Structure 1
């Protein structure tokens, strides 16, 4: 009887130990999950050293939209630890070529965007204008007159009151576009509109993609706060070239967007770039990012940085979402519709380009180097764990859009035959075979035949799916609205059977 009683007591004790361990495991799992989804910087309360507090203060703006004067001061004075190494070589332009020789030295001051993206309805809900059905135009107009109160009430709408969303928009505020709703973002239930929008930086290198550049500017003009546009007086192959884009800026071609352009001039060709073209390819993005970021004033830790190639055009709604909402993770990719020679030759699938992150992540993890963002190797970098630990968040990459929901356009080799010829001879000496080295590939008649069939320089002719200019996300709206001018990109000029 005694042994049985003792055995029962031991079993009860074992059960208690087991339950306590199980409870502890559940608590730890819950805290880890809660931290990841709620983006709560738990380590703020656990860290006591001054160095930790400084770093936490730097990234606090990402979560709570609190400007950090110390971060801004260090950045603007080029003294911040993560800004060391920025390229500061004096750029000299030929005196006989241009006026306004300081264009490449100007700084850009970021200001908060006061655009009233959200409005308050009669029912008291705060709704995203574009995504919300407004049945009473008169009442909407009266509401718009009171939008200066937006910053105080954007998250203070009546509880339980939701907005009536238009097709293509989701969420209680109707501000989540379909390309985010159907993305792989794991924190959709935690998204909330910001009181003050982020500022967006879009960085690109330019050679002669000027029609696509117009399309980008018109697509993103009211969303992006500053465009970094880098131009060199050398091609990617290392040959001298005129500064075409600078000429277009000075002759007024881009006056409609000039106030948002930070012109970056690369006046030298990187050592070793002629023999190894990938050195050039990397260096172009490195110089673009570091030179541009060193000339920005008023930067906040939670501003958005996006780097694209000139033939990659993000859709407006996806970038606006990053600007207006808190709760998404980083880094951010973009699923882009793939086209060749023109939007009429649509390729299968999407191009998922890892393109964006916050300014804090750019500086702390990628050391201010845009090429490192594109490489998808952030988890191997020395600053990754430090940044993740100091923010109290798990960095989870995701992409706007999906393979069936395009969030932008990638139009490869999208030029007239003369433009394709110029790209052939300008291409880097690294992406082999380098078709510009073959004289027969430079023949304009041969290039026209490639455009007609959708064929490639290696002789293959893929079977691309049929396209229709009326299909959703066929091409950027600006090009479609100016069909006569940009028809060569929208309809195959060399065949009647397709396009």
Structure 2
């Protein structure tokens, strides 16, 4: 019994020492303001065998670490090399994610792909939201079809201090969106000066793993008209984001 207890204690100590090494490694590049992001990862990565080397590399050398607001880096959208459609039989070109591959192969003589639930269309490439949404009501004669080059998806949003919502958006859309355009002003919608909270956190390592997909647009002045018109203040930063972000 004593022997077993001794072995158990040694195992625990060894595991704890491994965990502490992992914690030390991860905490070496966390900050007070952004630490909660990495703390969540620390819990997940407590076992050193689960450490993601790419994750560690991205966190050490994140994009905004040496960011100069006067000379922001340009972002060049890369070509998407992923394959979204699969050829089944002689004529069927089916959207992989929305197609029941096995059922389609069993009915190879059918000219239409067999769709999974919530997918529609000849190639099963139209999700339920588009099939039953306003799209067909607004554009009744439109035809959705596969493209040789996928559309670019740029998600632009003005930010203030909505960190939880921002994190949820990034994690939900990171594999679909090409680039996130973030507009931040050092003025509130009321016209009071404030700190660039998002930029500060980005520079400290916040969301380091995803920073390569983020373009920060800084608005450093407040429109005179916006002082009396809140709607103008809201639309102005969005317009500025579009004009400045696509230069």
The residue aligned with 1:56 is none
How far off is 1:198 after superposition?
1.1
How far off is 1:104 after superposition?
6.2
- Structure 1 residues 287, 189: closer, same or farther in 2, change over 3 A? closer
Are 1:105 and 2:39 counterparts? no
Aligned partner (choices 147, 154, 176) of residue 201 of structure 1:
154
How many correspondences in the alignment?
A: 177
Whole-Å separation in 2 of the counterparts to 1:103 and 1:169: 46
The residue aligned with 2:144 is 191
Are 1:279 and 2:232 counterparts? yes
The residue aligned with 2:114 is 164
User: How do 1:391-402 residues align onto structure 2 when only pairs under 5 Å count?
Assistant: none
The residue aligned with 1:121 is 88
How far off is 1:202 after superposition?
1.3
- Structure 1 residues 102, 272: closer, same or farther in 2, change over 3 A? closer
SS in 1 for 2:154: strand
Whole-Å separation in 2 of the counterparts to 1:120 and 1:103: 49
Are 1:259 and 2:212 counterparts? yes
Aligned partner (choices 156, 168, 182) of residue 229 of structure 1:
182
How far off is 1:123 after superposition?
5.5
SS in 1 for 2:193: coil
- Structure 1 residues 112, 246: closer, same or farther in 2, change over 3 A? same
Whole-Å separation in 2 of the counterparts to 1:195 and 1:246: 37
SS in 2 for 1:257: helix
User: How do 1:30-45 residues align onto structure 2 when only pairs under 5 Å count?
Assistant: none
Whole-Å separation in 2 of the counterparts to 1:256 and 1:240: 30
How far off is 1:122 after superposition?
4.5
Conservation of the 8 A alpha-carbon contact between 1:104 and 1:263: no
- The TM-score with structure 2 as length reference comes to 0.65
Aligned partner (choices 115, 126, 148) of residue 176 of structure 1:
126
- Structure 1 residues 177, 238: closer, same or farther in 2, change over 3 A? same
- Structure 1 residues 108, 135: closer, same or farther in 2, change over 3 A? same
Whole-Å separation in 2 of the counterparts to 1:194 and 1:159: 24
Conservation of the 8 A alpha-carbon contact between 2:93 and 2:123: yes
User: How do 1:434-473 residues align onto structure 2 when only pairs under 5 Å count?
Assistant: none
Conservation of the 8 A alpha-carbon contact between 1:112 and 1:198: no
Whole-Å separation in 2 of the counterparts to 1:257 and 1:234: 26
- Structure 1 residues 189, 251: closer, same or farther in 2, change over 3 A? same
Conservation of the 8 A alpha-carbon contact between 1:200 and 1:223: yes
- Provide runs of 4+ in structure 1 moved above 6 Å: none
- RMSD over aligned CA atoms reads 2.4
The structure whose Rg is larger is: 1
User: How do 1:267-416 residues align onto structure 2 when only pairs under 5 Å count?
Assistant: 267-294=220-247
Whole-Å separation in 1 of the counterparts to 2:170 and 2:130: 22
Whole-Å separation in 2 of the counterparts to 1:222 and 1:188: 30
Deviations along 1:458-491, whole A, 9 cap, x unmatched?
A: xxxxxxxxxxxxxxxxxxxxxxxxxxxxxxxxxx
- Structure 1 residues 190, 274: closer, same or farther in 2, change over 3 A? closer
The residue aligned with 2:101 is 134
How far off is 1:279 after superposition?
2.7
User: How do 1:477-492 residues align onto structure 2 when only pairs under 5 Å count?
Assistant: none
How far off is 1:272 after superposition?
3.1
